């Protein structure tokens, strides 16, 4: 198997292109999902969504303050005995100012900030839920896992696989059904924005998996979707490594053999064809998001947290889509994007596998453009004009 990954011939074949690319020593932190600009951009968007959510809550609260008469209580008061007409009128007037309810348990103002106004059962349940959430979440809303934890009463945590902007991922064993089978469980951050993104990821994966019943299109299989202590849970088939780990293991600095690159390229293009057929843009392809089977023969694209349909109306151009080293030039320039951005990411990933080095290790978007132009030449005047119009 090691012969498959021997990369001695890689440097020689890639020399003409490599000569154009300056040597850059990269640290593992350079492969993070965000730089400072990207983090600020994301946090600004999250703050905007949070302000919008608070505004809607205020509007709902104002609407809720319009008191509705308790019609059932008024009818009961009207049917009171004639000898008690004075008291019945008083009861009617009193109850007319209370919200309509079906039971005593529901006769509280759900929008009240007064905890004492809540029934004891509700207060106790809320306190228990809050304590449970606080016990499992860190300050940024990530689920804090411990070895041995049970998730959804089905998956037992055996190790940590990592964390990204949207979620944390743990290695688990399925304690039901296929006993002891390894799975990867993604726990989405406890955040409305992230939860909506998880629902989108679930929908995309279900669509891609359903249209690939024989599991031949090299897309990760979604096994389960649910919730656990306030976190959306997505469980996937367990694969041994990702392509970055394979590269570090077998071809650090020199790349892996062209035969292995060719095999992986064919499988990745099958996956891209399947996604394009169903109008899915992955928008974050990189070696970390391509998983490899235990025998190194099969690769599958994973992590559809940034994925979208090409027909989605809210696919606004943004210069920070896709991890920076694998970001297509049209994205950096803020131009409309589509399936070609995934093809670009696959292309630079294959170069990295073959040569053992990142093709365009830019430190910023501007540096990325400079490096791309070093290899591909200047952008056309038409492209530059479209970029200028986009950012006016």
Active site (catalytic) residues: 284
Long-range contact list for 106-111, CB < 8 A, 24+ apart?
Answer: 109/64, 110/64, 111/60, 111/61, 111/64, 111/65
32 C-beta neighbours (distance < 10 Å), count? 14
Question: Read out DSSP for 211-233?
Answer: T-TTS-S-BPPEEEEEEETTEEE
The gap between the terminal CA atoms of the chain, to the nearest Å, is 54
Closest listed residue to residue 9, CA positions, set 259, 350, 247, 246: 259
Rg value, the chain, Cα = 28
- Rounded Cα distance, 325 and 284, in Å: 11
State the DSSP string of 290-327: EEE-TTS--EEE---TT-EETT-TT----TT-S-GGG-
Question: CA angle, 153 as apex, 149 and 155 as ends, to 5°?
Answer: 60
DSSP tag of 68 = P
| Helix orientation angle between 243-250 and 340-355, rounded to the nearest 10 degrees | 20
Exposed (0-12), middle (13-18) or buried (19+): which is 283, by Cβ within 10 Å?
buried
**327 neighbors 229 (Cβ within 8 angstroms):** no
Cα angle 10, 16, 21; round to 5:
95
Cα 360 versus chain centre, distance? 25
């Amino acid at each position: 198997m090691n012969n498959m990954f021997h990369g001695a011939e890689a440097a020689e074949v890639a020399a003409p292109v490599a000569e154009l690319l300056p040597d850059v020593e990269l640290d593992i932190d350079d492969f993070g999902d965000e730089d400072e600009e990207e983090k600020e951009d994301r946090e600004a968007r999250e703050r905007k969504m949070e302000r919008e959510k608070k505004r809607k809550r205020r509007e709902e609260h104002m609407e809720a303050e319009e008191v509705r008469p308790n019609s059932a209580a008024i009818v009961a008061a009207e049917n009171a005995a004639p000898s008690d007409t004075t008291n019945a009128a008083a009861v009617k007037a009193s109850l007319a100012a209370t919200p309509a309810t079906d039971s005593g348990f529901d006769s509280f103002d759900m929008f009240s900030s007064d905890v004492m106004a809540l029934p004891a059962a509700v207060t106790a349940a809320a306190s228990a839920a809050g304590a449970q959430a606080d016990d499992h979440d860190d300050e940024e809303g990530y689920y804090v896992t411990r070895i041995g934890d049970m998730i959804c009463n089905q998956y037992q945590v055996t190790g940590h696989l990592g964390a990204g902007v949207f979620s944390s991922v743990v290695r688990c064993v399925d304690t039901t059904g296929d006993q002891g089978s390894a799975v990867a469980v993604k726990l989405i951050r406890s955040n409305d924005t992230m939860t909506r993104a998880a629902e989108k990821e679930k929908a995309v994966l279900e669509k891609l998996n359903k249209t690939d019943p024989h599991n031949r299109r090299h897309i990760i299989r979604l096994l389960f979707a649910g919730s656990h202590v306030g976190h959306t849970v997505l469980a996937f088939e367990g694969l041994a490594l990702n392509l970055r780990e394979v590269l570090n293991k077998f071809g650090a600095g020199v790349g892996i053999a062209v035969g292995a690159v060719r095999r992986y390229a064919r499988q990745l293009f099958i996956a891209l064809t399947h996604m394009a057929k169903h109008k899915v843009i992955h928008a974050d392809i990189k070696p970390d998001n391509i998983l490899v089977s235990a025998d190194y023969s099969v690769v599958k694209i994973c992590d559809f947290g940034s994925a979208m349909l090409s027909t989605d109306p809210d696919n606004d151009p943004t210069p920070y889509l896709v991890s920076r080293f694998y970001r297509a030039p049209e994205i950096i320039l803020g131009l409309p994007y589509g399936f070609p951005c995934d093809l670009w990411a696959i292309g630079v990933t294959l170069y990295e596998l073959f040569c053992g080095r990142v093709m365009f290790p830019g430190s910023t978007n501007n540096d990325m453009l400079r490096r791309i132009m070093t290899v591909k030449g200047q952008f056309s005047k038409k492209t530059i004009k479209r970029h200028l119009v986009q950012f006016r």
